[in-house]
A = this chain, B = another copy of it.
Amino acid sequence: MFTLHHTDGTARAGTLHTPHGDVPTPAFMPVGTQATVKGLTPEMVRAAGAAIILGNTYHLALRPGDEIVRDLGGLHKFMNWPGPILTDSGGFQVFSLASQVKITDHGAKFKSHIDGSPLELTPERAVEIQQNLGSDIAMVLDECPPADAEPDVIRRAVARSIRWAERCKRHHTRPDQAQFAIVQGGLNLDLRAECARELAAMDFPGYALGGFSVGEAPEAMHAALPHCAACLPEGKPRYLMGVGRPQDLLAGVAAGIDMFDCVMPTRNGRNALAFTDAGPVRLRNAKHRRDPAPLMSDCACYCCANYSRGYLHHLFAADEMLGPTLLSIHNISYYLKLMADARAAIADGRFESFRAACLARWNAPS
């Protein structure tokens, strides 16, 4: 499943092996929530440098339904993405999107955010959905309390997540799908270590850190990551779920994380906010109106190679679909280039100076 090529301090460069192809790590996974990376064709996602994408189990189970996706050939064929796909378990979306959520050991009962219909997500059902979708990597169902929840709430959620992980492993049958476990525990490092130890004993092919980026300060996450990553088995891929900004990804890589996903590049792109070496750029700002320069002069992405800031400003001012498409392409390209550069820096043993240079650029006054 995973080959480790280089380490540089605790940072790692490796290769993730999946039935739909290899993924160089550290890897960023663009988010294709509803069987599409919003506003982009799969060819655009690939051209931006993506090797693996993420699909959302909760959304796909609700619409179109996992059995329909299965009957139409599985998620890869359905959405015309021939490369690797990771699906989450749906747990996080139940807690963040659904209403009237009631959790017992059996599972989570809730009302659909689309039509209010009553639904249930159990560990077994989370496995079934993902087996129907046919992703290369599936995640176990976990309970995700906010980072600032009461210690007892977090402690009970960890215990339940461990029991649920066991049930997910037992229920899982697809040989062409790897199942990753998720370590919870909030900012309680002892709890994180204990959770990691118990899950490691079950010998999953990969491990994720869940429950970050849901309320805590970024500094608290950055401080906790080295400890949390060190608790995970060394020979297996490590995935930091739902994180984050470019500086958060580099903090994760420094701590020894191999995989990331986040909606920020696409969501911000749709909102006219671009990631650049000079920090965030807001294309709606009138100062770009007559600017013939590309968004970033040394970016090779389709957006920067062909369009001016003046044109991008116009597209957002005129509410044209091509604006969100072009900025999503740029932002995804930016994230993936960052991961490729980090990988090269790790191989060369200069990751910390690379990271320091990135942070200095992003924080420089423009």
Q: Which residues of A contact B (CB under 8 A)?
A: 34-36, 38-41, 59, 63-64, 68, 71-73, 78-80, 289-290, 292, 302, 306-308, 310-311, 313-315, 317-318, 320-322, 324-325
Q: Is the CB of A80 within 8 A of B314?
A: no
Closest residue of B by beta carbon distance from A270: B321
Residues of B within 8 A of A73 (CB): 292
Q: Is the CB of B79 within 8 A of A311?
A: yes
Partner of A321, one of B72, B313, B317, B324: B324
Nearest 3 A-B pairs (CB), nearest first?
A39-B321, A64-B314, A34-B318
Q: Is the CB of A307 within 8 A of B80?
A: yes
Q: Is the CB of A80 within 8 A of B306?
A: yes
Q: List 27 A-B contacts (CB under 8 A).
A: A34-B318, A34-B320, A35-B311, A35-B314, A36-B315, A36-B320, A38-B321, A38-B322, A39-B321, A39-B322, A39-B325, A41-B322, A41-B325, A59-B318, A63-B314, A64-B289, A64-B310, A64-B317, A64-B318, A68-B290, A68-B314, A71-B290, A71-B292, A78-B310, A80-B307, A80-B311, A321-B325
Q: Is the CB of B322 within 8 A of A40?
A: yes
Closest residue of B by beta carbon distance from A324: B321
Cα distance, A307 to B59, chains bound together (Å)? 20
Cα distance, A36 to B79, chains bound together (Å)? 25
* Apart from A36-B320, A38-B322, A72-B311, 10 more pairs, CB < 8 Å: A34-B314, A38-B321, A63-B317, A64-B310, A64-B313, A71-B292, A73-B292, A79-B311, A80-B311, A321-B325
Residues of B within 8 A of A64 (CB): 289, 310, 313-314, 317-318
Cα distance, A310 to B68, chains bound together (Å)? 8
Partner of A68, one of B59, B289, B320: B289
Cα distance, A292 to B77, chains bound together (Å)? 10
How near does chain B come to A245, taking the closest CB pair, in angstroms?
A: 24
Cα distance, A281 to B325, chains bound together (Å)? 26
How near does chain B come to A90, taking the closest CB pair, in angstroms?
A: 16
Residues of B within 8 A of A39 (CB): 321-322, 325
How near does chain B come to A82, taking the closest CB pair, in angstroms?
A: 10
Q: Is the CB of B72 within 8 A of A290?
A: yes
Closest residue of B by beta carbon distance from A315: B36
How near does chain B come to A281, taking the closest CB pair, in angstroms?
A: 18
Cα distance, A357 to B34, chains bound together (Å)? 40
Instruction: Kindly name the residue among A72, A78, A289, A308 whose own CB sees the greatest number of chain B CB atoms within 10 A.
Output: A72
Partner of A78, one of B302, B308, B324: B308
How near does chain B come to A65, taking the closest CB pair, in angstroms?
A: 9
How near does chain B come to A311, taking the closest CB pair, in angstroms?
A: 6
Closest residue of B by beta carbon distance from A309: B72
Cα distance, A322 to B63, chains bound together (Å)? 16
Partner of A72, one of B41, B80, B310: B310
Residues of B within 8 A of A310 (CB): 64, 68, 72, 78
Q: Is the CB of A72 within 8 A of B34?
A: no
Q: Is the CB of A78 within 8 A of B311?
A: yes
Residues of B within 8 A of A321 (CB): 36, 38-39, 321, 324-325
